[in-house]
């Protein structure tokens, strides 16, 4: 790799962003990053991050920039706001957005950047920050094939399964569909465990039975023990999934598709956030459900 290729810019140093810093630096990249939280930057510096003071500075230092942000508002602010990336990006640069974003806004941003000959990928991640940290996440990419090749080595640092799902916006749409199914898997697991708890069934034994039978889902591997032991140290936050379900419902409306189970899911998650579980792991949906049914 030449010196430019060895550099990667990163905007957003949250749970996933911190894991990305580790993956990039362990793979030999110089990682230049920015976050609105100075504490997040300081913590990431211990992993090798070279911090700067604005998204524009990230764009001036790196030709390939990865975004890991909470939502589309943050993405647009980081790219097009005051001191945003767009002020320093050059033709031929590439922005790789791992954010779970609004697909329409993602496509529109890709179009605006394309007018400056800047490439854009919506490269959404399936997997927790823990999975990103060990390189076992799955990535769904929207964009042109040749653009993916420009960023493939970066994607391969944190993913062992990269899928090109179509043009810009399709990565974001695919992520929402996956999150719909995965989130409901967590919810039904929570409901089963909650019923087991009320019935006096040993939850560890019940979880083992569920894992060994036809009801099995990977959500049981990832979140089952966290639910059983009420270990809600965040790998992915409950409030963030509520945001995702809102985008899922918007996508359903756009495509004239009713999503009644997801609508109920949103109500349950909202009750959990109101009860104070929003910053906990999304496995705290079991507490959200418990709170919801007790109202």
Residue 2 pLDDT grade (very low, low, confident, very high; cuts 50, 70, 90): low
Q: Within this chain, do residues 177 and 260 fall inside the same structural domain, yes or no?
A: yes
Query: Does 270 reside within a domain?
Result: yes
- CB count within 10 Å of CB 153 equals 14
**In this structure, what DSSP letter does residue 86 have?**
G
Per cent of the chain over pLDDT 90 is 97
In a domain, 1, yes or no: no
- pLDDT band at 295, cuts 50/70/90? confident
Q: What are phi and psi of 145, to 5 degrees?
A: -55, -40
pLDDT at position 249 is 98
**242 and 120 part of one domain:** no
- The enclosing H or E element of 184 equals helix 170-199
User: Taking a C-beta distance cutoff of 8 angstroms, is the pair 80, 55 a contact?
Assistant: no
Which strand (E) or helix (H) includes residue 168?
none
28 with 54, same domain: the answer is yes
Domain containing 223 equals 173-294
Q: Looking at the structure, do residues 70 and 92 belong to the same domain, yes or no?
A: yes
Per-residue pLDDT of 146-170, as tens digits, reads 999 999 999 999 999 999 999 999 9
Q: Is the pLDDT of residue 108 over 90?
A: yes
In a domain, 109, yes or no: yes
Residues 148 and 274 in one domain: no
Q: Same domain, yes or no, for 11 and 114?
A: yes
Count the domains in the chain: 2
**Domain boundary residue, one of 166, 195, 211:** 166
Q: What is the mean pLDDT of the segment spanning 244-254?
A: 97
Residue 178, pLDDT > 60, answer yes
Higher pLDDT, 2 or 108: 108
SS3 for 13? coil
Based on the fold, state whether residues 86 and 110 are members of the same structural domain.
yes
Query: What is the Cα 274 distance to its own chain's centre?
Result: 22
Q: What is the pLDDT of residues 6-65, one digit of tens each?
A: 999 999 999 999 999 999 999 999 999 999 999 999 999 999 999 999 999 999 999 999
Closest CA to 183 of 133, 229, 239, 231: 239
Contact criterion met (CB below 8 Å) for 165 and 141: yes
- If asked whether residues 264 and 209 sit together in one domain, one would say yes
Looking at residues 127-133, what average pLDDT do you find? 93
CATH number at residue 184: 1.10.1040.10
């Amino acid at each position: 790799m030449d010196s430019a290729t060895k550099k990667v810019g990163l905007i957003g140093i949250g749970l996933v962003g911190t894991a990305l810093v580790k993956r990039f630096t362990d793979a030999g990249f110089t990682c230049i990053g920015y976050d609105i939280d100075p504490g997040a930057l300081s913590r990431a510096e211990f992993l090798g991050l070279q911090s700067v003071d604005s998204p524009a500075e990230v764009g001036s230092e790196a030709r390939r920039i990865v975004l890991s942000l909470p939502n589309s508002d943050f993405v647009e602010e980081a790219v097009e706001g005051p001191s945003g990336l767009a002020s320093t990006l050059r033709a031929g640069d590439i922005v790789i957005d791992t954010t779970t974003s609004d697909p329409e806004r993602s496509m529109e941003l890709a179009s605006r950047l394309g007018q400056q000959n800047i490439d854009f990928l919506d490269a959404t991640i399936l997997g927790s920050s823990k999975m990103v940290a060990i390189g076992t996440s799955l990535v769904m990419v929207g964009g042109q094939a040749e653009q993916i090749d420009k960023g493939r080595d970066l994607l391969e640092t944190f993913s062992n399964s990269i899928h090109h799902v179509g043009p810009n916006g399709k990565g974001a749409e695919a992520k929402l569909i996956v999150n719909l199914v995965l989130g409901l898997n967590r919810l039904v697991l929570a409901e089963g465990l909650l019923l087991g708890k009320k019935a006096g069934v040993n939850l560890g034994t019940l979880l083992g039975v569920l894992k060994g039978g036809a009801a099995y889902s990977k959500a049981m591997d990832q979140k089952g023990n966290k639910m059983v032991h009420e270990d809600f140290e965040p790998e992915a936050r409950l409030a963030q999934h509520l945001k995702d379900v809102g985008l899922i419902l918007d996508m359903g409306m756009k495509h004239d598709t009713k999503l009644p189970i997801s609508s109920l899911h949103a109500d349950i998650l909202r009750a959990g956030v109101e009860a104070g579980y929003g910053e906990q792991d999304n496995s705290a949906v079991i507490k959200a459900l418990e709170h919801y049914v007790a109202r």
